[in-house]
Amino acid sequence: MSDPINILIIEDEAVLSMDLSDLLEEEGYFVIGTANNGPKALSLHQQNRLDLALCDIHIKGDWDGIETAERLLTERPIPIIFLTALTDKVTLDRAMRLYPSAYLIKPVTVPGLRAAIELALRNFTQSVTTAPEPRPSLTSLPARKEEARTEPILRIDDAVFIKHKYQFVKISLDDIDYIEADGSYTTLVTPKHRYALRLTISHVIDRLSFPRLVRIHRSYAVNLNRVSTFNEREVCLSTLCLPLGRLYKTDFLRHFNIR
């Protein structure tokens, strides 16, 4: 089985970013992370092995999408697909100087997105004159080995011990409200504390092995005991609402007995 294509989304509109993530995952791609500003995008690029970036030209912050893309390419060349609504000729000329792999007009369609990605990856591969370093599988990346070694989760009965500030802290599994992914880190949230783990969300869910903790989105899993309401797009706890991704909706609903 070939490794999934790792994609970074750079988009400052949260709803559009989540919809784009869902579309990409439905098409079989792996969204390594989302960034709503240039510095965060560069940090994710430095920390992860990316195959492609989808970048909105008009993101807010000190760097617009074009400058962000330029800094990504300076760090390490990858295919860039620019996203935008309508733009002026000066901005378009700036973007074209970076020789982007594609240019998609919003709203993005699935056929257009699929075609742009496949063409971008093919053209980028053909443009490399020297053989690239073989991509390790996701399970053999050094970072993952480091995670497994430095971030232990110790299970005992209905609680776990996790390392926090140089000591192991006991957390009752039922005290977990939700967990949130951010790139290669995952934050475990309880009513009183937040604990950051240098593990992917999939690793955390596997290691907690808590049936009531259910994945509802690429970036979130919730404790079903904490759910107060939900609808087609959101799962709400007492203090906040989290997005319900289309890929995870069926699995989420199967935990409820329909009478």
Collapsed DSSP state (helix, strand, coil) of residue 160 = strand
Residue 207 CB coordination number (10 Å): 18
Residue with tokens 């110790």: 154
CATH no. of 165-254: 2.40.50.1020
pTM of the entire structure?
A: 0.52
The domains of the chain are located at 6-126, 165-254
Same CATH topology for 6-126 and 165-254: the answer is: no
The C-alpha R_g of the chain, in whole angstroms, comes to 20
pLDDT digits (tens, 9 = 90+) for 198-239: 888 888 898 898 999 999 998 999 999 999 999 989 999 988
pLDDT digits (tens, 9 = 90+) for 79-94: 999 998 766 778 778 8
**Is domain 6-126 classified as CATH 3.60.21.10?**
no
Q: Dmax over Cα atoms in the chain, in whole Å?
A: 63
Helices 65-75, 89-96: axis angle to 10 degrees equals: 10
Residue with tokens 């993952």: 144
pLDDT of residue 15 exceeding 80: yes
Between CA 207 and CA 254, with CA 256 as vertex, the angle to 5 degrees is: 65
What do you get for the CA distance between the two ends of the chain, in Å? Answer: 41
pLDDT of residue 96 exceeding 80: yes
pLDDT of residue 143 exceeding 80: no
Buried b (16+ CB within 10 A) or exposed e, 210-240: beebbbbbbbbbbbeebbeebeeeebbbeee
Collapsed DSSP state (helix, strand, coil) of residue 122 = helix
Between CA 69 and CA 190, with CA 183 as vertex, the angle to 5 degrees is: 145
Which amino acid is it at 122?
A: R
Confidence of residue 9 (pLDDT cuts 50, 70, 90): very high
Give residue 241's pLDDT: 93
- Which residue intervals of 27-62 are DSSP H helices? 38-47
Nearest to 222 by CA among 182, 184, 255, 257: 255
